[in-house]
A and B are shown apart, each in its own frame.
Chain A
C-alpha cells in the first residue's frame, strides 16, 4: 500500500531542526553570560573610567538570561508541537488504512464512512492546532531576534565605551569584540529557524 509522506512528516523535521537551532542559541547565550560576568568584574577593576562599560555588560547579561528563557519556552512549544504532529501522523496513517478497508468493502460500507468522516474532522482541527502553535513559535523567534538586535546595538556601544577605558582600554575592547562576534552569531541562526518555519 502506498503511504504518502505527509506535510506532518515535514513539520516533524522542522521541529527537529528547530530544536537543533535552539541548542546552538542556548550555547552562545551561555558564552555571552559568562563573558558579561567577566566584563563586569573587569569594569569594576577599571573603576570610574569603565563605569559605562560596566552598565552595558550588565545589560548584556540580562539579555543572555532573557534569551535563554525564551529558548526554553521555545523548546517546550517545540515539544508540544512534536506531540501534536505525531498524533496527526498516527491519525493520517490510520485513516489511510481505514480508507483502504472501506474501498474494498462491498457490504457494511456505512460503518466505516462515519468513522472516516469523524477522523477527517479530528485531523482538520489537529492541523489547526499545529499551525496555531507554529504561529506562536514564530512570534517567539521574532522576540528572540529583537533581543539580539538590541544586543547588537549595545555591543556596538560597548566598543565605544571601551575606548574610554584608559589603561584598561585594550582589554575592554577585546571583550567588546568578543561580545560582538557572539551576538552576531545568534542572528543568522535565528533567521534560519524563522525561514524554515515560514517556508511551510
Chain B
C-alpha cells in the first residue's frame, strides 16, 4: 500500500501526499498523488493509473473519508495520470474531473462523459474547493500540449505534474529533495526527453519564478522545498532539451 503523508496543514486546509508503494510492480512508474482538503471537501490531483487504484484508494482512506473527494484534477491525459477515472466514477459517479480543454473528449476513453469532465481553458482558471480557491495554471507543452498545474496561494504549493519529475532509484526515495545536486541527476534525462520545447520551458520558468512557491510538488519523485524551488527553476531554464540533446 502507498503511504499518506501530510505535507501542509493550516487550519482547515491540508495537503496530503500519497506516495511510495513498496508493493508496486517495477513495470509501472511510481506516481505521487496529492489530496487537498479544505473543510469537508477534497480534490485529488493526478489520481493515477487503474493498476495502482487499490494502493491509492486505500492510502487515501487512512487519512480522509474518500466520499469527501468531490473532484479530480488531471494535469494532462497520460495513463499514469488518469486511467483510473473509470474506477473513481464507479466509486462515486458524481465526481467531476478538471483537465485541459484539449483532453475532455480523449479522457472519456478511460471513463466518464461530458458531464464528468470540466475543460480548463488554455489560460487556466480558478477552481474552488468549498470556500478555498485554487488556481489551474497553464504549463502547455510541458510535456503535454494541453498541460495544467494547480497552485494554492495560501499554502504556497504548486502541484507541477510532470515538471520537476524525477525517476528515483529504490535507495533514494525520500519524499522531500535532500541533496539537490544528487537529486537532479535523476530528473535530467526525463526533462530532456519529455519536455521538448525550449520556448515552453523558458515561458514557464519566467512565470513561476514570479510566483510565491514554498513547495513544488511533482507527480513523480520528490518535493522541492524552500530554496530548492528556485534552484530547480534555474536549473530547468538552463537545461538543453528536446531534439538538440539527441545530436552527438
Contacts and interface: CB of A to CB of B under 8 A. Distances in A.
B67 A111 contact: yes
Contact of B91 (A1, A100, A115): A115
B62 A107 contact: yes
Given A94-B86, A97-B53, A111-B66, A105 B58 contact: yes
A101 B47 CA distance: 14
A2 interface: no
Q: How large is the interface on B (under 10, 10 to 19, 20 to 34, 35 or more residues)?
A: 10 to 19
A152 B215 CA distance: 81
Contacts of B55: 104
A94 B58 CA distance: 15
Nearest to B2: A104
Contacts of A108: 61, 65-67
A19 interface: no
Given A107-B61, A108-B61, A111-B67, A100 B90 contact: no
A159 B86 CA distance: 62
A100 B54 contact: yes
Given A111-B67, A111-B91, A112-B91, A101 B62 contact: no
Contacts of A94: 50, 86-87, 90
B48 to A, nearest CB: 12
Interface in B41-79: 50-51, 53-55, 57-58, 61-62, 65-67
Contacts of B90: 94, 98, 115, 119
Contacts of A100: 54
B1 interface: yes
A5 interface: no
A94 B67 CA distance: 19
Given A97-B50, A97-B53, A111-B66, A104 B87 contact: no
A98 to B, nearest CB: 6
A104 B52 CA distance: 12
Interface in B177-233: none
A112 B57 CA distance: 10
A106 interface: yes
B53 A106 contact: no
Contacts of B50: 94, 97
A105 to B, nearest CB: 5
Nearest to A116: B90
B54 A101 contact: yes
Nearest to B56: A101
A98 B57 CA distance: 9
B27 to A, nearest CB: 12
23 contacts: A90-B86, A94-B50, A94-B87, A98-B53, A100-B54, A101-B53, A101-B54, A101-B57, A101-B58, A104-B1, A104-B54, A104-B58, A106-B62, A107-B61, A107-B62, A108-B61, A108-B65, A111-B61, A111-B65, A111-B66, A111-B91, A112-B57, A115-B91
Interface of B: 1, 50-51, 53-55, 57-58, 61-62, 65-67, 86-87, 90-91
